[in-house]
Amino acid sequence: MLTINGKQFKSRLLLGTGKYPNFDIQKKAVEMAESEILTFTVRRMNIYEPSQPNFLENIDIDRVSLLPNTAGAKTAEEAVRHAKLARASGLCDMIKVEVIGCNKTLLPDPIETLKATEELLKEGFTVLPYTSDDVVLARKLEELGAHAVMPGASPIGSGQGIINPLNLSFIIEQSKVPVIVDAGIGSPTDAAYAMELGADAVLLNTAVSRAKDPVKMAKAMRLAIEAGRLGYEAERIPKKRTATASSPMEGMSI
Ligand SMILES: CC(=O)[C@@H](O)[C@H](O)COP(=O)(O)O
């Protein structure tokens, strides 16, 4: 079970809701993924225009927890404003802090991310900050009281997979809160790898929403994450430089 601030989830796949070809495919993909946590960008919600189409209308929100994110924020102040707006709309108490510090890489601004996390924790939110794969920053976010850390595998939407498995494994080793690998996952292999490294969960969006068949890819990601987790729990064999026979002859009479 994935446990975030005392709340338990069977699914270890957190799914983004942006960039699907249409709401129907999005709904089917969400169902196929069996995700229990869906993230969406507060800034893109039609909070002020309830007559406009809204992805929430298509989702069974009794079955899922919503994780609004503060994408679009460039400062802690903006991120806090987005979070408060989401909470005032009655959508959640969980928030994914996303404060972007670089337009080219969409990497998070570490200083503003720390500030926003601190402020939102004071406000009583369950705070899940998106961070780079910086080991020290992940530790500082946890020390502040973040309820999970979400290191990026690679730049958002790049589909490059896990660029720095070493850093991710350091973050996983040191963290007592859940580590949710977020952003840059391109294929089921990447998602399984994150889980085999020992991540508690994976958050992804583009790999599913922009796949040729998003519904099939949602299933592939669900299965990959389950397989990766099982593999982690089963503990893989060590890698060796030389061969060892799979059917040893020792002890046989002929
Ligand atoms: C939806 C969301 O929260 C994204 O900002 C997230 O980081 C996913 O990234 P990918 O689209 O690369 O999976």
| Nearest partner of 74 among 35, 100, 106, 107, judged by Cα | 100
Residue 247 domain flag: no
113 contacts 141 by C-beta, under 8 angstroms: yes
Q: Which domain does 117 fall in, by range? A: 2-234
pLDDT tens for each residue of 90-137: 878 899 999 999 999 999 999 999 999 999 999 999 999 999 999 999
pLDDT for the residue 48:
55
Q: Is residue 96 in some structural domain?
A: yes
Say if 249 falls within a structural domain.
Answer: no
Strand ranges, E, within 13-69: 13-16, 37-41, 65-69
Q: What does the pLDDT look like over 148-157, one tens digit per residue? A: 999 999 999 9
3-state secondary structure of 216: helix
Ligand 1 centroid to residue 199 C-alpha, Å: 16
Instruction: Tell me if 210 sits within 8 A of 221, measured CB to CB.
Output: no
| Nearest Cα to Cα of residue 193 among 169, 216, 213 | 169
Residue 246 placed within a domain = no
Q: What is the mean pLDDT of residues 157-178?
A: 98
Local structure of 7: helix, strand or coil: strand
**242 in a structural domain:** no
Q: Is residue 98 part of a domain?
A: yes
What pLDDT is attached to residue 247?
A: 80
Q: Please give the model's pTM, rounded to 2 decimal places.
A: 0.93
Cβ of 101 below 6 Å from ligand 1: no
What was the ipTM of the complex prediction? 0.96
Total of domains in the chain: 1
The CATH number assigned to the domain holding 177 equals 3.20.20.70
> Does the residue 146 lie in any domain?
yes
* Position 253 in a domain: no
* Atom 10 (ligand 1) nearest CA: 183
H runs (alpha helix) in 107-177: 110-122, 135-144, 165-174
Ligand 1 centre distance from Cα of residue 75 (Å): 19
Q: Please list the alpha-helical segments (H only) found in 49-153.
A: 76-88, 110-122, 135-144
Task: Specify the ligand 1 atom closest to the Cα of 16.
Answer: 1
Q: Which is nearest to 121 in space by CA: 143, 139, 100? A: 143
